[in-house]
Structure 1
Amino acid sequence: MPLKAHEEDKRDLLKGVQHNVKTTTAEVPAIPTSPDLGQRRRGSVGPGAQFGIYWRSPVTMISIFVIGLGSALALHVWYSCLNGKNVGDSNQQQTALRIGTTLAFITQISLVGSVQFAHVQTLWRALKRSVISIYGVDAGFAASSTPLSFTNLEMLSKLRLASSLALIAWCIPIASLITPATLNVDSILLYSGQMMSVPALQISQAGAYKDFAYYVPQGNMLQKYLGPRTILTRLAVATSTTGEILRLTAPATNATYVQTFFGPYVQCLDANQSTIDAIDAANVRRKAAVDPSVKESSIEYFAFVPALSNVNDTSLNGPIQVANLSNVNGALYASNQLWLTFPRYSVNQINFNVSQVANPTYLTCGLHNASYHVNFTWTNGVQSLNILGLDVLDATPYPTDPSFSASDEDNMAYSAFMWAISSQLVGTMGFYQDISPNDTNNQIIANRTYSEIATNIDQTSLLGTSDLNSYFIKNHFLSNNNASQPFSSQRLRDMALARNRTLDILIPELSSNITLSLISYPLLSHPELTNVTTTTTTNIYTYQPKKVFIAYGIAIFFALVANVLGIWAYISNGVSHDNSFSSIVCTTRDIHLSKLNAHERLGALPLERKVGRTRMVFDVGNMAEGLRGGGRWGFGIA
């Protein structure tokens, strides 16, 4: 509004008010007053006017700030006491959280209340030094209760400090949203060690051979070794089929312990030249024994147990025979070795083709005594066995006419173990063709070509070894000539189970897995006191003090700044103010304001725009006469 027009409106309002006073004085009901009040001039400040800072107001502001500071420290101490402790049941957890929430709430309302005290003092100070519209005054008083007040640009420009403190009061509660998240509940494992009875392998213990090997006594204090007991064979087959160690009895749901013991182990090495010649010779004899109506096209796998201990063969240069493990009498003079031959593709070869030639490979696998150092672990009932160390010791001799000595008895138990493994690996895999009986020229009938697996290795996880790729590539091409897919989908799964490793790695691994699987059967193991570390899952409180320090540190800092500004406002004002009804009444009795709002009896919203735009000033003077200096404090029209 232009200044000239505003002055004219003010003079009109003054005239109207004076006229209204003259014409309506008789209608104002008499109000009982004290004798002093009746003798006091309306436009003057009486001798009883209160100047000076009322002590309770600044003390209250500082006190509730200290309460907020103390509550924040108490919250930190409380959460620190809970840190690392067990959560307990639901009631205990709820109690802990309620205390923390209560302290956070007290901190919030105390800091906000302290800032609001400072906001009120700085607001009154700014109003005494500003000419501002009623809209701006309304926004200033409502800034601490409604965020819409911050849309008033006049308040933001003329009441900057008060507006800033009101904004701080609004932002402080954000800290209380952060602090509850600083106390979390985490699950941890508690470790405790104790001596517990756990199963230990007894294959190397005195007298244990009776549970592993079949035997019959003979004359002259000798025994006759007959092979493995059925339980040993069954456990070996189960381990070989799954490719995993059988499930042991866990001492606890979460437990770990370490054992060191002796047990059998099969080690595979490349065959020397003399052994290669012996394998080839045995293969020739085997091929010669094939049915004459069948022609062997190629042999892709040949494994057998050599009869190295046949004492009845007096010829030093006699051929090494193939031991028949399916016949007890035929295996009496076998050995604790397994000889194998097969074509192996290059390790780095990626693309396979039926026309490619693999390199002949020869292995000798022998039985040894070994020292196992094993870590047994169960996590939530899931078993995990890890061989920490394995020392391969002497080779185990085959029991030929064993005596009742401890060494011969141990040899029988170990040899039974080797027999159980070898019986799953011996045999052949090859390709054959039928020959017509009427064909004197032995011409091959192509449509009768077929493959044959004559070994139990197809029942084990070792079937996926890369050493058998040659057989499966040729077998796949018998019915499928697609060179881009040399393996069937089933073959790919078998290869994944064996992780595409070679037999010189898989056979020793299988032997150690079977050794550890024997512990799962109570008759093949005995209880042994062992230091077992058990773990128990428990819920504990975890406190993150850094977030509390940052959140409440910022809130307390701004609240402290607000208190300093509030104290400065107290000193500058010279009196204490608040925004109570009595304070508003005492400062708005100017006759111009009464005329301005004469028709707004209820003070209902919305405020008339013309009234809201009227500019006001908080000053000392005789407001009824528009004079300044020497009057009472209050709002008047500027």
Structure 2
Amino acid sequence: MVCDKVNQSVTAYITQNVAQAINGSQEHSPENVTFAYYSLTRYGYLSWAPEADNLIDSTPFVQNGSGTFTQRLSSLGPIPSDPENGSRIYSTPKQPMINWRPLSLFVAIFPHSMETPKYNDIPENVAAAVQNSTILHCALHNASYQANLTYINGDQTIHVTDKTVLNGISYLHGVTNHDGPIWSSNTSFMHNPRVMESLSYQSIMDAFGKLLFGSIRTNMTHYNYQGDGPKGNVVNSMTQDTNILSTTLMDTEEMSIFPSIAGSESNPFTEYWEERSISLPRHSSRLSNTLEELFQNITFSLMSSKMFQPNYTVQAVPNTNVTITSYRNIYVYTRSILWAAYGTALGVTVLCVIAGILLYLSADGSYTSKFSTIFRVTQGAMVSIDLSKKDYSGLDPLPDHIANAQMTTGYNEDYPAKMSSATPLGHPHREPAASSQLLETTSDEGVHK
């Protein structure tokens, strides 16, 4: 599918037709009400298919006898017809109807139609609602291109290269073996590959058009109370009778004029952080490019059907080039920064080792916090005061004379080892150098008395 903007003459003809449809939708209030009002319908989005390959039949609206306008309902076009009597033209053996005008559709955006004008601008400036419009004409063509499918972390990406637009796909009413006054007995033309392709592509175009056809419109009411009453415009409703809302086309730049239905309404949270840490989403893709990409994705989705897949049970399976890319981490360092980091770490480590060795030598060895170590050290402890029997109970509060006492622990060579009745054989016990009730041991005679 190829989508391009229409030229200025076609734009002027279509916008004039839309402006006439807006004027024809006016409804005035009855005379017996206390205020005067009238309403009209303005179109922000339109999509339709032309009925014939001319300007008159390419407009979105058809005028009725009562002066009102209705939108064209044809889902496929332009439809080939006999220029003399307007009858339908069928594909025949001599004229297979494969080189007619390609199937096409129109997509029009009117951004000013979604604006709320001043209270007195509706009847005087209806033409302003169709100004600065975007009108696209999309035609169906056969195309040849190379598709590269890439899977990164499970996400599929399709890159199209070497795209070449070929012949157009025209509308087919059907096939017949009646060619003029002669009826042909040869029915092989019914299975003409070009005809079968055209019918298949026509069905895809029909489904694609049903996604786009329809309109998005607003009903605008202008009211004017008698005397000094209020005056103004009210947007009564917004009506959507199109399936474009379910597509990614709503994320395009042109469709951003519909914020309430395009899903881009402002978030109260982001207003507090705008231009600080987050930014609001922007509509960057163009509608023409997105339309072509959407139709392209529909074409690719058909490849999942088994009808379009080769028979993998036979030997003549077509080869497909597959490229697998593996990514590995490569670390790049600056030599000076690397030596500074590792040199600092090594230097601190060496200093810690030297400090540990010096502390080990100054303490004549190493010690632990085990109970056996504490027990051995306190066995030779000396207290600077004399302790009474009451002091051995350990009751709180701590007496003042004990709180100010000094205790010396460790091995003391000035005190000879003496066997105690409470000490196992082979384990000497050191007596304190000063006379103390806490450290004085009981003699063997006192024990046997």
Q: What TM-score results when the alignment is normalised by the length of structure 1? A: 0.32
Which is greater in Rg? 1
- TM-score, normalised to structure 2, is 0.44
